[in-house]
Amino acid sequence: MIENILHPRITESKDWATVLFVLSFAIIAVTKSVFENRFGDFANLIFSNKYNKVYRDSSHLKSGFTISLFFVQVISLAFFIQISLSYFGHASKTDWILYIQIFTFLTFFVLSKYLIEKIIATSFNIEEFMEQFNLQKVTYRTYIGLIILPLNIILFYYDSFSRNIPLLIIAIILIINILTYLISIKNYQNIIFGKLFYFILYLCALEIAPYYFMYYWFTKGSA
């Protein structure tokens, strides 16, 4: 008699990701409905600088529009980080516990960085400039988060993609971030040159150092 041994088939659940993707698009739809004109200007950001000119006041940094899309941005970037780690064999892209850890770390990192910047800006009397500078950075990073959201969906549900795809997206994100800084420096050059020492101190301490230490931590952790 042939004895059949049954092995349980273990499948990794992707339902949690589906819920988050649907939630993200629901937030985008509600935001578009509530802030129709502003969302239209925001959507054309890559083609026109109208959005930055109209919504350059620092009060917009704490508006419902910015906060709701910031939430979508963090969801999207957390997915991209986890998917990238999985493509290079350092994690599973369906591990929801890891996703929560990445999401929490990103949220804590961004908010704590903002608070530290706020304290330094107040100490150096450059608060208004720093608020506007942060608003412009948040605007472009939110735009990046929304652009890569559909790419995350494709990369999450399909496995037959080259490792070069995440690398290409990372390169594009880095280029856009560099361009964002150049645009910000051009727009606020009079204020920056008036407080050049403080700006260089801010750039080194809060813009370069944190990302360097994160890179060092990830590369050492995966070594």
pLDDT in tens, 14-29: 889 999 999 999 999 9
Structure tokens at 42: 């925001």
Lowest average pLDDT, out of 35-44, 65-74, 135-144, 154-163, goes to 154-163
Which of 4-18, 49-63, 162-176 is least confident? 4-18
pLDDT at position 7 is 41
Q: How many helices (H) and strands (E) in the chain?
A: 10, 0
Q: Taking 80 as the threshold, does the pLDDT of residue 31 lie above it?
A: yes
d(CA 175, CA 177): 5
| pLDDT per position as a tens digit, 169-202 | 888 888 877 777 777 777 667 766 666 666 676 6
Residues 85, 163 contacting (CB under 8 angstroms)? no
Examine the pLDDT at 67 and tell me if it is beyond 80.
yes
Helix (H, G, I), strand (E, B) or coil at 36: helix
**pTM for this entry:** 0.81
pLDDT at site 195 = 67
pLDDT band at 137 (very low <50, low <70, confident <90, very high): confident
**Mean pLDDT along residues 90-102:** 90
Selection from 82, 63, 75, 145 nearest residue 107 by Cα = 75
Helix (H, G, I), strand (E, B) or coil at 34: helix
Of residues 189 and 77, which shows the higher confidence score? 77
| pLDDT at residue 117 tops 90 | no
Asked whether residue 133 carries a pLDDT value surpassing 50, the answer given is yes
Distance CA 99, CA 21 (A): 13
